[in-house]
Chain A
Amino acid sequence: MNWAGLYTVLSGVNRHSTAIGRIWLSVIFIFRIMVLVVAAESVWGDEKSAFTCNTQQPGCNSVCYDHFFPVSHIRLWALQLILVTTPALLVAMHVAYQQHQEKKLLVLTGHADPKHMEEVKKHKMRIAGSLWWTYVCSVVFRLLFEAVFMYIFYLLYPGYQMMRLVKCEAYPCPNTVDCFISRPTEKTIFTVFMLVTSSVCIILNMAELVYLVIRACARRGQHHSNPSGKSSFYGHKHSSEYKQNEINQLLTEQDGSLKDMLRRNSGLQEKGDRCSAC
């Protein structure tokens, strides 16, 4: 499992995202993960071996490096990118659950042929109902993780700038010792770059949140004139009334996409029936 594996997993989520969500995913993969892998990792590659202190005291080098760099930038970015991309899996799990429900509904209504099952897998889910809440939660978590990591970076490495020289007096270093960091300017440039892309991602997430809320309010305004009640769920498990109720419940829970699909396919089936009659 590496970054390419994560890319494969998240590309599947891409289909059910909004347009802003897709742009966000592209920015994450191209401007953050890819830059991390092809450029930043080689900049920080020799951070410990090229960290030099002006002393011959054994152990002083290691202790000072550990004191000034408790967690390396590269590891923090890797953790940040993993945590920030993971909430999208909530959406993937919810979509998989909805697809399972749709397949169950198809079996109950007698449309359980392979063609319809394939169409369930392929059609894009509308972000409505409970999926809307899951999607909004995933966006909120993304924002939260981004903000938390930016704050951790600021705490650990104040000002986001990499110093050329640090003065260290941790035991066993004798008195105060000058220690020199390798490639500080290049590291500062990449830190600022990753900070800027992180901010761009935060802005995209906020825009997506606002878009989802506005869309939901607009939809609620449209549906205000046509309220749809949920059917109750009574009856024995094996009775036809039970089955019909389950179908009704699944139909009202589903978004418009499955209804459209069934409506279209029942239309085709009617044509087929007509033809078989002649």
Chain B
Amino acid sequence: MDWGTLQAVLGGVNKHSTSIGKIWLTVLFIFRIMILVVAAERVWGDEQQDFVCNTLQPGCRNVCYDHFFPISHIRLWALQLIFVSTPALLVAMHVAYTRHEKKRRFRNGEKIDIEELKNEKIHIRGPLWWTYTSSIFFRIVFEAVFMYVFYYMYDGYQMPRLVKCSAWPCPNTVDCFVSRPTEKTTFTIFMLAVSGICMMLNLAELCYLVIKICMKESRKTT
């Protein structure tokens, strides 16, 4: 079970999304998951090995690394991507449930074409509209929460070159040097920018859905 399987699972959801939703999914897979797998993981690969402290005291390096990096950027991004892509499965479950109901009606004797049922695009209205809107809302919430967690944990989005550590068993204060700080800062800002773009796409999709439903309601009343 890896990113490829998640892509296969979410690819199915793509069929029932709006155009903005399809763009969002593409941005997620190409500019976030793919960048994480092919580039960012290599940059952070030697983060602990090459974290060097100016001391011979055994254990000081481990403790200082743990103190300054409670959870690695890579793991936070992996969790963020998993949480952000999961609400789309709510929509997939709702669509599967709608199809199941239609098949049940077919079994009870109503005349519905089975092949057409499999391929028809389900319109986003009624209860599905609410499920879809909730999933977008959750996506936005998860993105915002993770962006805040990043900011809170690492005091901004920049990776320092040098950190001063005085946790036991380090004697006094010790200088520790982070590996590839500039490259890490570059990727952190890139992932932040793409996260911001995804959030804007989600907000645009939410506005689009709300406007569409308002227009439909006003057409019904006139």
Contacts and interface: CB of A to CB of B under 8 A. Distances in A.
Interface in B74-104: 74-75, 78-79, 82, 86, 89, 93, 97
A52 B79 contact: no
A38 B86 CA distance: 15
Given A30-B6, A46-B49, A189-B70, A54 B59 contact: yes
Given A4-B2, A26-B89, A185-B70, A39 B62 contact: no
A7 B1 contact: yes
A130 interface: no
Nearest to A43: B75
Interface string A180-218: 111111100110000000000000000000000000000
A6 B2 CA distance: 12
Contacts of B59: 52-54, 165, 178-180
Interface string B40-60: 010000001100000001110
A182 to B, nearest CB: 5
A184 B82 contact: no
Contacts of B66: 164, 182-186
In the A-B complex, the 7 residue pairs with the smallest Cβ-Cβ separation, listed nearest first, are A180-B59, A185-B70, A180-B62, A54-B58, A33-B1, A3-B1, A39-B78
A186 B72 contact: yes
22 contacts: A23-B93, A29-B1, A31-B86, A34-B1, A34-B82, A35-B79, A37-B2, A38-B2, A39-B74, A42-B75, A50-B48, A52-B58, A52-B61, A165-B63, A178-B58, A180-B58, A181-B62, A182-B66, A183-B48, A186-B70, A186-B71, A186-B72
A73 interface: no
B170 to A, nearest CB: 11
A123 to B, nearest CB: 9
B122 to A, nearest CB: 18
A34 B2 contact: yes
Contacts of A111: none
Contacts of B65: 182-183
B107 interface: yes
A260 interface: yes
B3 interface: yes
Contacts of A50: 48-49, 62
Nearest to B72: A186
